[in-house]
Amino acid sequence: MKRLFLLLLLFTLLASLFTLQTVYAAAPPAPVPQTGQTTCYDTAGTVVTCAGTGQDGENKAGVHWPQYRFTDNFNGTVTDNLTGLIWLKNANCFGPKVWTEAITAANSLANGACGLSHGSSVWQWRLPTIKELESLVDLANSNPALPIGHPFTAVHASYYWSSSSIANDTYNAWYVSMNGGFVGNLNKFYGNYVWPVRSGQ
């Protein structure tokens, strides 16, 4: 009887393990987009031929960008054809805000404000996560660090708040610089720019 119980227990454990493997195997990997960088540099900062450098500009690793990265929807919004996210076209509707004010401004955005004419209501917009905000960056460009020909208006070569706080830190949150495309963090009482987003999927 004890042997039968042990066999049943072993069978149950194996079945559970198989189920877990099936669940994890079914989840597709999260695609990582290319950075946009196509140039390579030597240690002095001089542009060099990329072949054999192993740099980002040579490998261009990641998901290839669509031919037309952004679509101007002519209603105050822009669709990112790489991520499916919908961004406010006006990248400076609110001016610099402290972090909590930035979140409130983004959540309060609605049709009729900031050039919007597509019928959105309060709470459909939000402050982007650090990953979402960083996804806009094209490391081949600076000031602003966006793809050439982007349709956004009033983009400042400055810091934009994300909704992401620093882990285990009450006082600081992440931002993206639209000058060089780098990510950093600041005290939430600093005034940074606000660029609302909404999910397009």
> Considering Cα of 74, then 124, then 144, then 135, what sign does the dihedral take?
negative
User: Which amino acid is residue 82, in one-letter code?
Assistant: L
What is the reported pLDDT for 20?
Answer: 45
How many alpha carbons lie under 13 Å from residue 90 in its C-beta half-sphere?
14
Cα distances from 78 to residues 30, 63, 66, 74, 99, in angstroms, run 23, 20, 15, 8, 24
Quote the pLDDT of residue 10.
Answer: 54
pLDDT of residue 53: 92
Q: What is the pLDDT along the chain (201 residues), one digit of tens a residue?
A: 556 555 555 555 555 544 445 445 566 777 788 998 999 999 999 999 999 999 999 999 988 889 999 999 999 999 999 999 999 999 999 999 999 999 999 999 999 999 999 899 999 999 999 999 999 999 999 999 999 999 999 999 999 999 999 999 989 999 999 999 999 999 999 999 999 999 864
